[in-house]
Each structure stands twice: as structure tokens, then as C-alpha cells.
Structure 1
Amino acid sequence: NFFGPIEVMKAVLPQMRSQKSGLIINVTSIAGYMGLPYRSVYSASKGALELITEALRMEVKNFGIKITNIAPGDFATNIASGRFHAPLIKGSAYEKPYGDTLKMMDEHVNSGSNPDMMAIAVAKIIETPNPKIHYKVGVFMQKFSIVLKRVLPDKVYEKMLMNHYKL
């Protein structure tokens, strides 16, 4: 989620610098804008990639290289089948809340938007002469949650997330 994209960027930037052009689109996540329960490392890695994108795009702009990121919300894909997560341990103090949250995450993916929406957004970015720094792709409430995080007091937002995840 973090080191892989950095290695890819390190690999392609020399060629992009020599040709004085290029476009890098980093795929982050709406989860990278907030700390989500039981997804702390995922949220942190996607948030870090957002910031790397912001900084690196300024560093390579004079070489004609454009870097942007796209933060998807929930899309109906098979991502849950390959998701790496901590095992659900029977008898653990976290067994029920963590298990319930895992089920909820899977349900969100299963009922997520059509992934074609993401493909269309990427195609539009590729065709855009001057891409924005950040793109968010998902249903209204997923994107609006980022706005709420910016405007609500921290504890109010935290309470809202805890209510959503029934914690």
C-alpha cells in the first residue's frame, strides 16, 4: 500500500525525467483521510501515500511530470477475498467488535459501487492536461465523510464513526 508504489515511482521517474513528461496516478483510499477502527495500518498507509503524492508532484513538476492520486470508496470487487487482516481469535477481548467490523467491511464491498466508475475516473484523469492533486471516487456519503472530518470537532467525528461501526 505504501512501499510498493514508492518503488514503482523510483523505477519510472528516471525515464520520465529524461523524456520530460509522464503521469503517475497513485491509488489511495477514502480510508486514508481518516483513522478507521481495525484498519489503522491500512488508513495510515493510504494517508501516507496521499502525502507522498503531494510532495513528490512539486519535486518533479519542472520535469514535466504530473502526479496525482485517486481515492476510491467501496467498490464491488473481490478485494475482500484477498484482504490481509489480523486473524479473528476466539475468546479475544476483540473477538466480537473486530468480527462484526470485518463482516461490515465485507458487506460494504459487496454492496459497493460498480468498479467501472473507478475505471472511468482514471481514464478522465489520463486525458486531463493538468490533473488535480486529489480525486475522490465513491458514493456521496463516503466523499462527504472527508468534509465532515474537516469541519466537525475530533471527538464528534470519532463518535460518528464509532456509531457507524457499532463500537
Structure 2
Amino acid sequence: MSKVVLITGGSSGIGKSIGEFLSTKDFKVYGTSRNPERYAQTSFELVQLDVSDVASIEKAITTVIEKEGRFDVLINNAGAGITGPVEEIPMEEIKRNFETNFFGPINVIKSVLPQMRRQNSGLIINITSIAGYMGLPYRGVYSASKGALELITEAIRMEIKDFNIQMTNVAPGDFATNIAAGRYHAPVLDDSPYKNPYGNTLKLMDEHVDSGKDPLLMAKAIHEIILTEKPKVHYKVGEFMQKFSIVLKRILPDKVYEKMLQNHYKL
């Protein structure tokens, strides 16, 4: 029997790449979008789901279960970028980012767990970010929301182990997607004390995304994890130096690591 997979944020970028790849590997794939009618060019079905709307989440999960009779794999991929000096990002934008990147995935997890518990099986994959392992300048809110998802995954894994439900994090580095166009950018203000360092860092971040890895690499990594009997707690996918930066953070003194980041961003 083909495993049933639901990918939040499956209409573009990494989510779409994962969905299209899994569709070629004998999985029954559903993707989600806030506005699925806008996307006709997918090889899998899109259902309406807004991760900031609990009723929308529950309706989408119920739809998939009613169609398939089971729910095997949840891939929490929907997310949003945000940049800017923390001092200058409106508080409502900070809260909105956490609604998408942290509270949203939690609500989707809560909605699928009862069915997985009934089946005595299931796998939940949370797409986080290498940025979630470190506080990056002018990406502090994004780092915090993704880091929070990494940590809560560690806790939930232990809470659901008795139900034969697996959970893991996959932290990607920079991939060539449209995330830069969709993220919230605090404006670079002419009278801001952060004008020059933030403006330069913003250009550097966009260059990293433009030259990022092919999202197919993430799709293949997710496929391997689904086939793994006992997934690890954390996975990292991306450029060697981006993954190695996490190792350096563990072994270097805090101020040495901070200086390394400052040099990287020319701060």
C-alpha cells in the first residue's frame, strides 16, 4: 500500500520539489496551499490549508484521512522568511512569523497525531533551517522561530515514542527557491542607524539564495529519511560550510564564533 504523505507549503520551492519527487516513488502525495486554485502545474493534489488557521488545518487533515483512510507522513514545510534589525521590525510581523514557522507546525502536528496513534504508526518531518542553530544578524526573528521548532521537536519525539510515531528535523541551508521574494523585509531606512550594515547584509543573503543548491537535493534527502526505520533527531542538508558552521558553534568559544559571523557578514 502506498504511503500517504502531506506536505504543507507544497505549491512551490522545496515543498513542491519534495512532492514531485515523492510522486515518482509510489507515494500518495498531497500538498497544501492557502490558495490551491492558483497552482495547476503540480503532479500531486493540492488541498487548501493555512497554517495560521486551526479550522483550515483540521479540515485539510480530515479531507486527506477521509480520502485515504490513513495518514503516514507529515512534512511540515510551510514557512516564511523575515529580515531586518529586531529593533525596527514591527511586533505584529514578528508574531506573524512565529505563527507561520512555529505555532503553525505545532497545530498541524496536533491534528495528525490522533490518526497516527490509531494506526500505531507515522512519521513527522519538520523542515527547519541551519539558521535555527545560531542567531544570525538581521535574521534574528527567523533564527529564533526555526530554532524553537528544532527544540520542541526534541521534546515531542520523546512524548510520542510509545505510539510508534517517529519525528525528526531537517535543517536546510540555502536553496535556489523564491523564498527571498516571499519573505518580509523590514525596509532599509535612510535615517536608520542600521542602514549600511543591514543593507549590505540583505544583499549578501539574497546572493546566497540565488546561488543556492537545487531543491531536488532536499527532496532526495526527505525520501531517504522516509525509508529509514529509525530516523535521527536532526538532519542538515546543504553546502558543507553551512553544515560545518553548526559544528564550529559547538566547539569554538562564543565570542570567537560571534566574530566569525561578523566577518562573514562584513559587520
CA–CA distance in structure 2, aligned partners of residues 13 and 39 of structure 1: 32
Compute the TM-score of the two structures, normalised by the length of structure 2: 0.62
Structure having the higher strand fraction is 2
Unpaired stretches in structure 2, ≥5 consecutive residues: 1-100
2:214 is aligned with 1:114: yes
> Which runs of at least 4 in structure 1 moved beyond 3 Å after TM superposition?
none
Aligned residue number for residue 263 of structure 2: 163
- The reply to whether residue 34 of structure 1 matches residue 137 of structure 2 is no
Tell me the equivalent position of 2:228. Answer: 128
Q: Deviations over 1:75-132 (max 9, x none)?
A: 0111100011322212211111111111110000000111110110011111111100
Q: RMSD across aligned C-alpha pairs, in angstroms?
A: 0.7
Equivalent position to 2:243, from 143, 160, 166: 143
Distance 2:143 2:185 in 1: 13
Alignment of 1:54-93 (within 5 A): 54-93=154-193
SS at match of 2:185: coil
Q: Size of the alignment, in residue pairs?
A: 167
Within the candidate set 192, 195, 202, 1:95 is matched to 195
1:5 equivalent in structure 2: 105
> How high is the sequence identity, in percent, across the aligned residues?
75
Which structure is higher in RCO with an 8 Å CA cutoff and minimum separation 6? 1
> Aligned to 1:97, what secondary structure does the other structure show?
helix
TM-score norm. by structure 1 comes to 0.98
More helix by share: 1
Distance 1:13 1:88 in 2: 43
Higher Cα Rg, which structure? 2
